[in-house]
Chains A and B, each alone.
Chain A
């Protein structure tokens, strides 16, 4: 059962081959047996999951089954869940039980989806390896000595290991796509504003976007049509009709124009990753697509612009953790300033402090124009690169990350870790959607093909990914980890 996709499991439930309770119980058993080695979950909500599974079984028996009825999945621990700890991977929120549900959680629940728990992540979504979690690092099921990527590393590892068929993640600079690539699964970052951010713990509000992580593009389509849409509680969510993504997967690739950004195939790209990605592009050519080279000339400025904008927004967003209204509070504060300073010194980890300090510095008097304003101007140039490219081609393709998953503990220097996100970060600055699709291996570690499309072209993106998965079987490969357990 753990090898099946959401779509296959939905068919099994419909046909009465198994109940939601059986399905969820088997997934919970797998989590219990295997997650000690992976550490992909921060909280497992078995009791609630089984109650929800029973409710889904009853609804189905009375002929009232919604789109995700009875299907198990997991939520990155950044989404607020009423009555369940929402830690965001931080000591600061270790004791925080959210008093409300995030909009996407509410939508999953209304569609009958059953959450098995909350997945591990880099603290406040700041990281590319999941090593920045207060709850310890997550292991990559393809190779337990490798990182799963980050920041949605728990979600990616849990799906790759067959603990759940799908999970939700968030992506501020690559945090869905890069772990999807490292773990050999499919992960979609939607257009900024496509999915409500209400109840999603904020990191960098002009970049953050929630999205699906699953085995196939078809499963991502099913999840995206459930969670997308306008929300009056998120003023940045966009009032625009949500297409029936599942119905649009079977579009022909004949005549599709694919652009290969030359900057995505330059220095620093691992040769095995490049080979796998170029092979994938050949598959597209054999399916009737036309390929040409394009240029995104400001690519090299994406990481510098991001490391001004994201920390600036983070330093402002994270000012809410003051030890007064919720979350960690230091012992015996002598005065209010001591309360704030010790609470925040104890509650935040090193990378979070680093970004708060950078953001506070660049926003402070005398530095604002040189850093923040400049970065926002460069952000416009980066977005314009994509708009110009999409005048010439339908989609862009390249590697999701420059290397396969690296070893735990291998990236010691923050800047070299930041450079891991070279191909994903510009996408968030531009606000366009992107998907990572399994496209082979470098040694024993998976490689992801990234496909990018214009704003709100998720249907096209999912169709392009789905067609690849009809022609290849990289998305069907499973790690040896946990294979012995049915």
Chain B
């Protein structure tokens, strides 16, 4: 499956990676070659084979529903680019 210029721009938008028209052109070739290599998978008959998501087929463990973490807001916000009054600041979303 080849990848077109529009697909690259669509993926960049979905991933929120700023990409100009020209830059996207640069990725079309690279990504097409990667997908061409990946296309070898299509030749394999995988009917009836369960997908493997975890190499040990493990599932999530459960634990008692108890509070184990305490609030460390100030410590964790110390590495934020901009905060105010304990909140993360971003450009205004609602006018």
Q: Which residues of A contact B (CB under 8 A)?
A: 96-99, 192-193, 206, 232, 235-236, 238, 298, 300-301, 303-305, 307-308, 315, 319, 322-329, 333-342, 344-345, 348, 353-354, 356-358, 360-362, 364, 367, 370-371, 373-381, 383, 413-415, 418, 429-432, 455
Whether B58 pairs with A238 at a CB distance below 8 angstroms is yes
Assuming A326-B80, A341-B17, A344-B16, what are 14 further A-B pairs, CB within 8 angstroms? A192-B56, A193-B55, A206-B54, A301-B41, A323-B81, A325-B79, A342-B18, A354-B27, A354-B34, A357-B27, A377-B51, A380-B49, A429-B55, A455-B55
Whether A357 pairs with B49 at a CB distance below 8 angstroms is no
Given the known A-B contacts A361-B7, A380-B51, are A236 and B58 also in contact in the complex, defined by CB atoms under 8 Å? yes
The B42-57 residues at the A interface (CB cut-off 8 A) are 42, 44, 46, 49-56
List, in ascending order, chain B residues with CB within 8 A of A429's CB: 55
Given the known A-B contacts A337-B16, A364-B14, are A380 and B38 also in contact in the complex, defined by CB atoms under 8 Å? no
In the complex, 28 of the A-B residue pairs with CB atoms within 8 angstroms, ordered by the A residue number, are A97-B79, A238-B56, A298-B44, A304-B39, A307-B38, A324-B80, A329-B81, A333-B91, A334-B91, A336-B91, A339-B90, A340-B16, A342-B18, A345-B18, A353-B27, A358-B34, A360-B11, A361-B8, A364-B11, A371-B41, A374-B44, A379-B52, A380-B49, A380-B50, A414-B34, A418-B37, A429-B55, A431-B56
Whether A361 pairs with B81 at a CB distance below 8 angstroms is no
Contact partner of A371 (CB less than 8 A), chosen from B15, B38, B55, B91, is: B38
How many Å lie between the Cα of A308 and that of B44 in the bound state?
15
How many Å lie between the Cα of A370 and that of B39 in the bound state?
9
Q: 1/0 per residue B1-18: CB within 8 Å of A?
A: 101000110111011111
Whether A414 pairs with B33 at a CB distance below 8 angstroms is yes
Q: Please list the 4 inter-chain residue pairs (A to B) with the smallest Cβ-Cβ separation, ordered nearest first.
A: A431-B55, A376-B51, A345-B18, A341-B18
Contact of B93 with A by CB under 8 A: yes
B23 to chain A, nearest CB (A): 9
List, in ascending order, chain A residues with CB within 8 A of B41's CB: 301, 304-305, 308, 371, 374-375, 378
Q: Which residues of B contact A (CB under 8 A)?
A: 1, 3, 7-8, 10-12, 14-19, 27, 30-31, 33-35, 37-42, 44, 46, 49-56, 58, 60-61, 63, 72, 75-76, 78-82, 88, 90-93
How many Å lie between the Cα of A360 and that of B15 in the bound state?
6
List, in ascending order, chain B residues with CB within 8 A of A99's CB: 72, 75-76, 78-79
Chain B interface, >50% SS class = loop
Given the known A-B contacts A333-B91, A334-B91, A361-B11, are A206 and B55 also in contact in the complex, defined by CB atoms under 8 Å? yes
Whether A356 pairs with B15 at a CB distance below 8 angstroms is yes
Whether B56 pairs with A380 at a CB distance below 8 angstroms is no
List, in ascending order, chain B residues with CB within 8 A of A327's CB: 79, 81
Whether A345 pairs with B55 at a CB distance below 8 angstroms is no
B71 to chain A, nearest CB (A): 13
B15 to chain A, nearest CB (A): 4
How many Å lie between the Cα of A340 and that of B17 in the bound state?
7
Whether B40 pairs with A304 at a CB distance below 8 angstroms is yes
Contact partner of B91 (CB less than 8 A), chosen from A206, A335, A379, is: A335
A474 to chain B, nearest CB (A): 31
Contact partner of A303 (CB less than 8 A), chosen from B37, B58, B63, B81, is: B37
How many Å lie between the Cα of A381 and that of B90 in the bound state?
46
How many Å lie between the Cα of A256 and that of B52 in the bound state?
30
Whether B52 pairs with A329 at a CB distance below 8 angstroms is no
How many Å lie between the Cα of A362 and that of B1 in the bound state?
11
List, in ascending order, chain B residues with CB within 8 A of A305's CB: 41
A28 to chain B, nearest CB (A): 27
Whether B91 pairs with A319 at a CB distance below 8 angstroms is no
Whether B52 pairs with A380 at a CB distance below 8 angstroms is yes
Contact partner of A354 (CB less than 8 A), chosen from B31, B38, B75, is: B31
Whether A353 pairs with B17 at a CB distance below 8 angstroms is yes
List, in ascending order, chain A residues with CB within 8 A of B90's CB: 324, 333, 336, 339
Whether A193 pairs with B51 at a CB distance below 8 angstroms is no
List, in ascending order, chain B residues with CB within 8 A of A455's CB: 55-56
List, in ascending order, chain A residues with CB within 8 A of B52's CB: 376-377, 379-380, 383
List, in ascending order, chain A residues with CB within 8 A of B37's CB: 303-304, 307, 415, 418
List, in ascending order, chain A residues with CB within 8 A of B82's CB: 329
How many Å lie between the Cα of A61 and that of B81 in the bound state?
45
